[in-house]
């Protein structure tokens, strides 16, 4: 399997089999959201920060989740790139900072004991505690979720923020939901492609994450969209973002195994790992009809030939779109 840099904010539920794609940066993170209560209902937080080695991270993560952590975030403590993992593996840096969020009333001694039980008292690193209220948490999330323009007229904005002028096509995203916001080049490539495509009857968004591509397609005039992901939290996020934009009657969310083999789509977009795009080519093509428009991203420049080859038997590709070393392959299923 080819390696590739990934980063900035890869979010997944504890059970998800692979991490979603992100870009290389010097400030890199992976979030594990374990909270079964909606995060918006937690009014204050105890933030816990620890610097760890990669080999110790899983034991500490498990101990903190057992102790009641609501979310765990990993950030690159240095400036090393993170590469695409083999299937079933979780990518991490050699040196990392773990930030865990607990309900504010959690006893810090319980957390220290959990870390010591995972590492042993002689190996336990210094632990930093900080109390945050809900406004602090939402403000920090909003800092990374700003209004962005894609193509000529498509905007993705945090909910409640000031919108562009009249005539803009606006997609709102809830800043309290983890997953993609359009900041990564692969998502931007997909959004710009959708903005220039003629609206179709039914769009399939495979590996939907936040549902940003499905919701944008509906806002741009597609009649219906089906958003598919293997992560229950992604499906929840997509459903909530659909409702936020008034698209709930036109947006369906489902797991891959809930997608009926007989369903056909006029547009298929998949922003996922390159090897997964290769593996899924026969299945996704089985949901197409002659003339279906295809958009594939999550692909580094060097990976594009292999992905194109897996689809070229049935797809006539247009010239690639490229941004920051990433590629969008797009074309039309043959008649």
pLDDT at 209: 87
CA distance 258 to 276: 18
pLDDT at 231: 83
CB 152 within 8 A of CB 146: no
pLDDT at 97: 86
CB 198 within 8 A of CB 247: no
Q: Say how far residue 51 (Cα) sits from the centre of its chain.
A: 25
Q: Count of CB atoms within 10 A of residue 25's CB?
A: 17
Of 108, 162, 152, give the one whose Cα is nearest residue 130.
108
pLDDT at 115: 92
CA distance 73 to 131: 16
All domains of the chain in start order, with CATH: 5-141 (3.30.70), 145-333 (3.40.50.150)
Torsion region of 179: left, alpha or beta (phi above 0 gives left; psi -120 to 50 gives alpha)? left
pTM over 0.75: no
**Coil, helix or strand at residue 106:** coil
pLDDT at 132: 81
Question: pLDDT of the chain along its 335 residues, tens only?
Answer: 222 233 333 333 222 222 233 322 223 334 444 444 444 445 578 999 999 888 888 899 889 988 988 878 777 766 554 444 444 445 556 788 888 888 888 999 999 999 999 988 667 788 999 988 766 655 655 555 578 899 999 999 887 777 787 889 999 987 555 455 667 789 999 999 999 999 999 999 999 988 999 999 999 999 999 999 988 878 998 999 999 999 999 999 999 999 999 999 999 999 998 999 999 999 999 999 999 999 999 999 999 999 999 999 999 999 999 998 899 999 999 98
Of 59, 145, 41, 57, give the one whose Cα is nearest residue 99.
57
Distances (CA, A) of 102 to 13, 57, 108, 302: 17, 18, 10, 42
**Coil, helix or strand at residue 284:** helix
Of 325, 231, 269, give the one whose Cα is nearest residue 31.
231
pLDDT at 310: 98
Pairing verdict, β 5-6 and 82-83: antiparallel
Pairing verdict, β 95-103 and 71-76: antiparallel
């Amino acid at each position: 399997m080819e390696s590739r840099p990934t980063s900035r904010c890869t979010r997944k539920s504890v059970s998800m089999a692979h991490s979603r794609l992100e870009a290389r940066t010097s400030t890199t993170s992976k979030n594990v959201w374990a909270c079964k209560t909606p995060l918006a209902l937690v009014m204050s937080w105890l933030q816990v920060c620890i610097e760890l080695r990669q080999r110790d991270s899983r034991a500490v993560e498990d101990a903190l989740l057992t102790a009641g952590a609501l979310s765990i975030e990993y950030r690159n403590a240095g400036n090393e790139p993170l590469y695409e993992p083999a299937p079933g593996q979780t990518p991490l840096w050699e040196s990392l900072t773990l930030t865990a969020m607990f309900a504010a009333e959690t006893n810090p001694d319980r957390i220290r004991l959990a870390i010591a039980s995972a590492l042993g008292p002689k190996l336990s690193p210094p632990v930093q505690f900080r109390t945050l209220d809900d406004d602090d948490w939402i403000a920090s999330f909003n800092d990374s979720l700003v209004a962005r323009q894609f193509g000529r007229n498509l905007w993705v904005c945090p909910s409640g923020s000031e919108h562009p002028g009249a005539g803009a096509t606006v997609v709102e995203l809830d800043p309290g939901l983890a997953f993609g916001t359009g900041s990564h080049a692969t998502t931007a490539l997909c959004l710009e492609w959708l903005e220039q495509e003629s609206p179709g009857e039914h769009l399939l968004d495979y590996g939907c994450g936040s549902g940003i591509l499905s919701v944008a397609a509906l806002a741009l005039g597609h009649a219906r969209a089906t958003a598919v992901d293997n992560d229950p939290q992604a499906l929840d996020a997509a459903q909530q973002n659909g409702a936020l934009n008034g698209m709930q009657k036109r947006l369906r969310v489902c797991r891959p195994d809930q997608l009926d083999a007989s369903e056909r789509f006029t547009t298929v977009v998949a922003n996922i790992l390159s090897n997964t795009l290769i593996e899924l080519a026969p299945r996704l093509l089985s949901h197409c009809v002659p003339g279906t428009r295809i958009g594939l991203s999550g692909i580094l420049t060097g990976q594009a030939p292999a992905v194109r080859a897996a689809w070229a038997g049935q797809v006539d590709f247009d010239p690639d779109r490229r941004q920051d070393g990433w590629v969008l392959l797009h074309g039309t299923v043959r008649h």
